[in-house]
Amino acid sequence: MLEAKQLNHAKSYQRAGNYIGAEAMKRFLSGDYAAYTARFPEVGMVGYVLSDSVGAWRDRLKAAIKDKGPTLAPRRPQQDIRVVADFPLEWTSGHDRQSTSRPVMIYHIFASFMDTDKGEPYDSVAPAAAHP
């Protein structure tokens, strides 16, 4: 099961708090996905990067998860991994689910939607053929 969030530092509702909040990562720990996903030992969070770099977001979110500590019921330290070669900045975080007795491993994966030539998100109204 995957949960996806837009990541755009320019918009307050698309920042780190949104990624780890009650409508995102916390859903797997204590929210509406916790009981449903209890049968899955692994789930994923996908971040759609719309500002800054994937590396900046990875660092920002890893710090936010660490700072939230007890509220996210960490089971072990976060660990950098590489599952898919095209996504080099993946990592995992292990947590205890607060509503079940089963732990969960969350895989964090990011996809950049930044136009590297312009340093801004791709124009969402431009024809698909205009994007590389």
Secondary structure letter of residue 72 according to DSSP? G
Query: pLDDT digit string (tens) for 79-95?
Result: 999 888 888 899 999 99
- DSSP H or E segment with residue 111: strand 103-112
Q: Measuring CA to CA, how many Å separate 74 from each of 70, 95, 104, 118, 122? A: 7, 4, 10, 38, 35
- Per domain, the residue ranges of the chain are 2-120
Q: Residue 71: which of 16, 32, 43, 29 has the closest Cα?
A: 29
* Measured distance CA(85)–CA(129) in Å, rounded: 25
- Asked if residue 109 has pLDDT above 90, the reply is yes
- Whether pLDDT at 65 is above 50: yes
Counting residues of the chain whose pLDDT is more than 90, the rounded percentage is: 35
Q: What is the rounded CA–CA span in Å between residue 86 and residue 41?
A: 24
Does the pLDDT of residue 12 top 90, yes or no?
A: no
106 burial type by CB count under 10 A (0-12 exposed, 13-18 middle, 19+ buried): buried
Does an H or E element contain 54, and which? helix 54-68
The model carries a pTM of: 0.82
The span from the CA of 82 to the CA of 92, in Å, is 10
Instruction: Identify the pLDDT of residue 94.
Output: 95
pLDDT tens, position by position, 116-126: 556 566 555 44
* pLDDT of the residue at 104: 92
